[in-house]
Amino acid sequence: MTRSTWPDSPDLPPLGDGRRALAVHQPHSVEDLCEVVRSEAEAGGAVYPQGGRTALDYGGTPARPGVAVDLTALKQVVDYPHADMTITVQGGLNVASLQSVLAEHHQRLLFDVPTADRATIGGALATGVFGPRRYGQGRPRDSIIGVSFVTSKGVEVKGGGRVVKNVAGYDFPKLLTGSLGTLGVITQATLKVRPKPGGSALIWLPVDEPTTLDANLASLDASSTRPVAVEFLNPSAAAIIGDALGLKGGSWTFVLGIEDDAASVDWQVEHFLSGKTSGVDVLRNDETPPLWSALTDFQAGPALLACTANLRPSRVAGFMAALDPERWAVQAHAGSGVVRMRARGDWNEDQAVEAVSAARAQAVRDSGALVVTCCPTAWKPRLRVWGDPRPDWALGKAVKQALDPIGLMNPGRFVGEA
């Protein structure tokens, strides 16, 4: 098998989009990883980093044959000064395992990761995933304060540090977050963590129409309520999430997540619900984890076609109202302006192109953007997974050229390459 030909043996590991790796390596040390990268660079191949393989089809199509690098053996907790509320771990550590370590000291990560039982912390950072708590606790890039990664030259580079106030040098931690493994292979990360809250509540509030979202957002802005999550579901998404948990699905649904000390949670729930009594469900404390998980994992649910739009929060209700609930199940992190769309039923390529183009055009008119996060490989060229070229793509390509001049790392996935 030459490096100019894609292998087709089902015994070889997948790279995503129907592509197979020439071989798979599972380094047990950073030195082993550096050697794999150097060897592949000398051979003119490509390196495709992998963790829990939860996002193999995300982004453009792999551009040329290469090797898969399985990082799951790099899974050590390097340093955990829990009193400082930071933790340093290797990139292959499973997110659920990391959460278990933190739970021993009644602490947790600040961002949600879907399919946490499979996802690795390096993969979560590389894809920049987040869930409903983004509104109150920020994105992964807000949690990471230090990172180590292997470059296309096969050397490990470190950026940031193990203390929150470290500001020296280039901001590699944030640069690597969301880079899809195209700038380097994340080997280690230092993250901020926080104590678990003393109380938790989720308010499930069915509403008559999407326009009520704006009134609820305005009410929150004018109140003393400080939620960590502000979610809005169209009828189809509410049915997917709510029916399995015994909650009323099939309606437009506003979901408010509150976490604080127990007395504060009780006060905020009572304050928000003042005058709202019909059809409201309030889950508290031990009742909340299943719904938190369902809200987080919605984006990873099965779908032939899935998209994510980024909008101003004031534009979310109108954007969602234009999407047919019979064709789309839609969840919005409404306080942050992020809308996740999962196609329902049967679609062909022409239907997908028409629907995605219309939704993207509306997002762009509202000063936003839309990317396709999942679709059949053959549809990617016409769907333009990253959208239409923008001026800032040139900056992204310049960074890619500076850190990976030979295009070794995850070629084809980067913005503008597909």
Please name the amino acid found at residue 29: S
Q: What is the pLDDT of residues 15-74, one digit of tens each?
A: 999 999 999 999 999 999 999 999 999 999 999 999 999 999 999 999 999 999 999 999
Contacts of 283 (CB under 8 A, 6+ apart): 201, 202, 204, 291
Closest among 29, 122, 83, 150 to 408, alpha carbons compared: 150
pLDDT, residue 273, reads 86
Confidence category of residue 418, pLDDT binned at 50, 70, 90: very low
- Name the percent of the chain lying above pLDDT 70: 96
**Residue listed under structure tokens 């008119």:** 365
User: Which pairing describes strands 107-109 and 86-90: parallel, antiparallel, or unpaired?
Assistant: unpaired
Mean pLDDT of 83-110: 97
**What is the per-residue pLDDT for 162?**
62
Query: Do 36 and 29 form a contact (C-beta atoms < 8 A)?
Result: no
Q: Which two tokens stand for residue 129?
A: 């995933």
The domains found in the chain, sorted by start residue, are 77-195 (3.30.465.10), 199-297 (3.30.70.2190), 299-383 (3.30.70)
Task: State the average pLDDT over residues 303-310.
Answer: 97
Place of tokens 């953007």: 369
- How do residues 159-177 score in pLDDT, each as one tens digit? 986 655 544 556 899 999 9
- pTM more than 0.75: yes
Beta-bridge partner residues of 193: 109
The closest of 209, 311, 300, 197 to 257, measured between CA atoms, is 197
- DSSP character string of 348-370: -HHHHHHHHHHHHHHHHHTT-EE
Phi, psi of 293 (to 5 degrees): -65, -45
d(CA 283, CA 242): 12
Q: Give me the numbers of helices (H) and strands (E) for the chain, helices first please.
A: 14, 19
